């Protein structure tokens, strides 16, 4: 994008992997931004939301903060609801009152994965666990306000920072020569830097065009292509140097790896609306993976 946002941007969830990516790219683009995270900004403490908003005086808010512990959410619904529903709703209401845009990140887990094809934004939601349920409720609550809200559903986010599948696989490979990975859950890995670029490109478009009615609502924003967790694991190891330990990866069924929360079996997202309205398309996941693996390997200290 040629044009750049010059007004202050408030980025919440600054300590997360998407928050890190947003800050790095915003700084590289010379944008004026303020990033906040816990304990300064905490969805479980409503007063911190208002304080951070009023202190920043933003002309745009990007909410990258959320409760993302999918399994822990099953036994911590109150915290999940604060992080994914009531907290974001409060932030959206502040944006609505200030008449500024609000970009909110949501998830593929609002779907049950039974469609058998990529989900569009018009498909009915049917979350299978507390995490997906609270994210869905957050979406609906945000859209029930009069906020200039753009909700971006994404999936399988990973980066060179934070806890994610790519880091988990690389660390596991240093400790064992055999891994079992679920092969019957289908979706799309999304590199945090790619998602951050799309979000900041949307911010630029908003500045260039002003708010347009077609911008409001839900959009899907994931990497291009599709795979399984098993396929993702193999691609991660294929991106490592020859001297990196490569374990034997055995495909297993979801039923062989029980978890407190049930994951959608096929949570692929159709991203055509993002391309139609904003002219944006994230790179294919296979293209974005190797550079992040390289950074992860450079950051990690090999196990003794």
Annotated catalytic sites, by residue? Answer: 131
Judging by beta carbons within 10 Å of its beta carbon (0-12, 13-18, 19+), is residue 162 exposed, middle or buried? middle
Q: Omega before 39 cis (within 30°)?
A: yes
The CA distance from 141 to 143, in Å, is: 5
Nearest CA to 249 among 267, 266, 264, 227? 227
Pairing mode, strands 33-36 and 101-107: unpaired
Phi-psi region of 46 (alpha: psi -120 to 50; beta: other; left: phi over 0): alpha
| Residues in CB range of 2: below 8 A, 6 or more apart | none
DSSP state of 174: T
Structure tokens, 198: 């799309």
């Amino acid at each position: 994008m040629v044009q750049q946002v010059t007004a202050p941007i408030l980025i919440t969830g600054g300590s997360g992997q998407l928050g890190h990516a947003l800050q790095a790219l915003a700084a590289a683009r010379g944008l004026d931004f303020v990033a906040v995270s816990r304990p300064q900004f905490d969805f479980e403490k409503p007063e911190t939301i208002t304080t951070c908003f009023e202190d920043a005086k933003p002309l745009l808010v990007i909410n990258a903060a959320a409760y993302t512990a999918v399994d822990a959410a099953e036994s911590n619904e109150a915290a999940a609801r604060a992080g994914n529903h009531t907290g974001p709703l409060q932030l959206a209401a502040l944006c609505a009152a200030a008449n500024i845009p609000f970009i909110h990140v949501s998830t593929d887990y609002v779907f049950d994965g039974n469609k058998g094809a990529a989900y569009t934004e018009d498909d009915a939601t049917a979350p299978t666990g507390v995490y997906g349920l609270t994210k869905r409720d957050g979406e609906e609550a945000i859209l029930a306000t009069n906020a200039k809200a753009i909700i971006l559903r994404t999936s399988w986010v990973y980066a060179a920072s934070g806890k994610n599948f790519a880091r988990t696989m690389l660390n596991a490979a240093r400790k064992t020569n055999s891994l079992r990975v679920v092969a019957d859950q289908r979706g799309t890995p999304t590199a945090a830097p790619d998602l951050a670029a799309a979000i900041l490109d949307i911010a630029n478009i908003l500045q260039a065009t002003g708010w347009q009615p077609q911008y409001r609502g839900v959009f899907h924003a994931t990497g291009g292509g599709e795979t399984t967790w098993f396929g993702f694991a193999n691609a991660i190891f294929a991106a490592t140097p020859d001297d990196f330990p490569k374990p034997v990866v055995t495909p297993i069924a979801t039923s062989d790896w029980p978890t407190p929360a049930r994951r959608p079996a096929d949570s692929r997202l159709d991203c055509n609306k993002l391309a139609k309205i904003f002219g944006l398309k994230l790179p294919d996941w296979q293209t974005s993976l190797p550079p992040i693996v390289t950074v992860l390997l450079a950051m990690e200290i090999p196990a003794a």
